[in-house]
Amino acid sequence: MPPMPLVENEQTKLLANAIDRASTACFTIGIATPLAGFVYNVSGFRSTIGPIELASGLVGWLFAALALHLVARSILKDLEP
């Protein structure tokens, strides 16, 4: 049977990875997709949203992605040698 710190380390890494994947999803859904829609004017997206609304949404999603990434990094600090 493996020592407990090894199992706990793997569980900690799994949790941190899941949270970091959530931050990647926030970036993709909240930043990359709206920017692509705006640049390529998908379905008239540019006429339905203004630059100020787009920018504020991008900042909010960027903050969410960054916060989740930093949480994942802080979780990894709990790893035992």
- Are 46 and 5 in contact by the 8 Å Cβ rule? The answer is no
Cα angle: 6, vertex 11, 17; to 5 degrees = 125
Confidence tier at 3 by pLDDT (50, 70, 90)? low
For residues 73 and 15, what is the distance between their CA atoms, to the nearest angstrom? 11
Confidence tier at 78 by pLDDT (50, 70, 90)? confident
Q: Where are the alpha helices (DSSP H) in the chain?
A: 4-27, 33-39, 45-48, 51-76
Could you report the per-residue pLDDT of 31-74, keeping only the tens digit for each?
Answer: 999 999 999 999 999 999 999 999 999 999 999 999 999 999 99
